[in-house]
Amino acid sequence: MTYTTILTEIRGRVGVVTLNRPQAMNAFNTLMLTELFNALETFDKDETIGAMVVTGNEKAFAAGADIKEMAESTPFGMIKQGRVELWDRIRGIKKIVVAAVSGWALGGGCEFAISCDMIVASETAKFGQPEVTIGIIPGGGGTQRLARLLGKNLAMEMIINNRTLTAAEALQFGLANRVVPVDGYLDAAVAFAEEIAARAPLAVRMAKDSINTAFETTLTEGLKAEKRNFYPLFSTEDQKEGMKAFIEKRKPNWKGK
């Protein structure tokens, strides 16, 4: 498939998508969002791919939704174009998506990064939600995900006071999983994703689904959902293989079955 606003490559078992609108600080216009999700959904269906990485460039992961595209938008225009549904496509991805963030992750850029499953940040990464400074609020899930990830007060400060988090703060507050040197940050993120890609695919998928359920429901319902994902794994070849390999003191050979 050919894309005009993103680049895609496969490194080992990791599908990598690079946002590629450097002239606009990788601001998400409708085309780039559509291409990004088309690429992620294609990787998600590809059995040779075990995990994905989304990155930008050193200076900007993404500076938000494209303000120039949005400036004259109307509510019904946005509804008709399905803009909100477009951002929501990240929730349909079953494999693990790692955001490799360097430089600015602002507005929709920060929202997209925190919609991914994990974040590897370069030392220069900066996370912020400046929407209020241009007269709107986050619309790609930022108010909900940041409140859940960071708690109410810090989410308030980021969204209302335009507080930006440095990479070190993002790590300290649990928004980033790793902070790595800017040189080679993408390689570090791909290596991180490779580790995930080497794990039992069905177990990873069920684990992701179960953890995401924790954000949606009560503890009692969440525990039931976990059991619904736990028991079926005992019908997989990978469970038999994983436990046998442990007992035989060897590496398991996963089949994804």
- Which long-range contacts does 185-188 make (Cβ < 8 Å, 24+ apart)? 185/58, 185/100, 185/102, 185/120, 185/121, 185/122, 186/16, 186/53, 186/55, 186/100, 188/100, 188/120
Task: Say whether 108 is catalytic.
Answer: yes
Residue nearest to ligand CO8 (CB): 107
17, 18, 66, 127: which one contacts ligand CO8 (CB under 6 A)? 66
Chain centre to alpha carbon of residue 251: 29
How many residues line the site for ligand CO8 (CB under 6 A)?
23
Per annotation, catalytic residue among 39, 65, 121, 203: 65
15, 50, 56, 140: which one contacts ligand CO8 (CB under 6 A)? 140
73 touches ligand CO8 (CB under 6 A): no
Q: Of 120, 122, 124, which Cα lies nearest the Cα of 191?
A: 120
Close Cβ partners of 32 (under 8 Å, ≥ 6 residues apart): 5, 6, 19, 21, 26, 66
50, 130, 201, 242: which one contacts ligand CO8 (CB under 6 A)? 130
Q: How far is CA 207 from CA 73, 143, 182, 199, 251, in A?
A: 39, 25, 30, 12, 21
104 touches ligand CO8 (CB under 6 A): yes
Q: What are phi and psi of 252, to 5 degrees?
A: -75, 155
Cβ distance to ligand CO8 smaller for residue 134 or 243: 134
| Bridge partners of residue 18, in order along the sequence | 7, 55
12, 44, 67, 88: which one contacts ligand CO8 (CB under 6 A)? 67
Task: Say whether 131 is catalytic.
Answer: yes
134 touches ligand CO8 (CB under 6 A): yes
Q: How far is the CB of 196 from ligand CO8 (least distance, A)?
A: 27
242 touches ligand CO8 (CB under 6 A): no
Site residues for ligand CO8 per CB under 6 A? 24-25, 27, 63-68, 78, 83-84, 87, 104, 106-108, 130-131, 134, 138-140
Q: Please give the positions annotated as active site.
A: 65, 108, 111, 131
